Amino acid sequence: MKHVVLFAIGIFLISCKNKQETSFPTVGPITESIYASGVLKTSDQYQAFVTVNGIINDLLVQEGDSVNVGTPLLTITNETQRFGAENAALAVNFNDYSANQGKLDDAKLLIETAKNKLHVDSSLYFRQKNLWDQQIGTKIDFELKELAYKTSKANYLSSIQKYRDLNRVLKFSSSQAKKNLQISSNLAQDFTLKSKTNGIVYSLLKSKGEIVNPQTPIAVIGNYKDFVLELQVDENDILRVQKGQKVLITLDSYKKQVFEAEVAKISEIMNERSKTFLVEAKFIKAPPKLFPNINLEANIMISKKDNALLIPRNYLKNDSIVILASGEERIVKIGLKDFQKAEILSGIQAKDEIVKPK
């Protein structure tokens, strides 16, 4: 009798083990979406970099301070630059055109002296020439007067040219010195880092006294009023993403809450390393408080149907076949899909009982 009972129990367990789960298609709504991970950033968020080498002399803001475009963030000191600026200022004073007016006055005086001598030597020459034309005097006297006249004339023309050259050199030196001072002044502005946007200082990455260079990020600044959702979308899905599509957002900071956003911008180039495209979305209604660099998960809504014939996705075999309760395998045409359900366009009806594949 004992053996009969055990045999009956065994038959019952085997029958239960062999019994498969079944289901009937249902009619209901389904939404197909594309999953994307991402990060929250402010619309104007950026890392601030200096353009020169130096040491931080003074921090003019603190984390959390509001800033506007052009607000000084910090100053940098560099002895070489300071000496260069002082040298440029000295050069301007030394080469200033008005400061060298005395040299021009001396050159003018030389012109006047040469002109007077030319006038005297010219009179003597032409007087001696008239006498020589009348065969009065000696030839050597005539030639000496002629030589003196030509020399005076050459000296006079030379003094004029020297004045012009000196005037041109002084003007050039004065302009060049002023330009160098202007360049040095512009470089001095580079030693004051200024904000490029209206917003707040989210983070200061360096302290007073630290050495910085153009490759060193100094601060993170952004607009606290406007946030952007940066989503990474796989290259296989990017063609189905369009501007204006609805996006459902979940944030680690807001557990069990879902926020709505909308696709605002789609990158035209793929990140070769991650094989993803950058898609930007903006909140339709943002949470009450947000912080930059928060991680997020998103589902981009591709399409939706309110009355679709649905079956569980795990009842599909090879994503295109269902097994009827009779054991028949039937090919079905699939429409929309989400993580749990799939739409059936053709192949079975709502009355058909289907079996979950093993």
In words, the CATH class of domain 20-30+305-355 is mainly beta
- B/e letters for 283-310, b = 16+ CB within 10 Å, e = fewer, are beebeeeeebebebebbbbbeeeeebbb
Same fold, 33-44+223-304 and 46-76+192-220: no
Per-residue confidence in pLDDT tens, the chain, 358 aa: 444 444 444 444 444 445 678 889 999 888 888 899 999 998 788 899 988 888 888 899 999 898 999 999 988 886 666 666 667 677 778 778 777 888 888 889 999 999 999 899 888 888 888 888 888 888 888 888 889 889 989 999 999 999 999 889 888 888 888 887 776 666 656 678 899 988 889 889 999 889 888 888 999 998 877 889 999 999 999 999 999 999 999 998 888 899 999 999 999 999 999 999 999 999 998 888 888 888 999 999 988 888 889 989 889 988 889 899 888 898 989 888 877 888 889 988 888 888 998 8
pTM, two decimals, is 0.53
- The DSSP bridge partners found for residue 58 are 75
- B/e letters for 182-221, b = 16+ CB within 10 Å, e = fewer, are eebeebeebbebbbebbbbbbebebeeeeebeeeeebbbb
CATH of domain 46-76+192-220: 2.40.50.100
Sketch the domain layout of the chain as residue ranges. 20-30+305-355, 33-44+223-304, 46-76+192-220, 80-190
* Closest to 290 in 3D by CA, of 345, 241, 197, 226: 226
Question: What residue type is assigned to position 309 of the chain?
Answer: L
Token pair for residue 178? 């002023």
CATH number for 33-44+223-304 (one of 3.10.20.30, 3.20.20.70, 2.40.30.170, 2.102.10.10): it is 2.40.30.170
Question: What residue type is assigned to position 220 of the chain?
Answer: V
Q: Under a CB-based contact definition with an 8 Å cutoff, are residues 107 and 159 in contact? A: yes
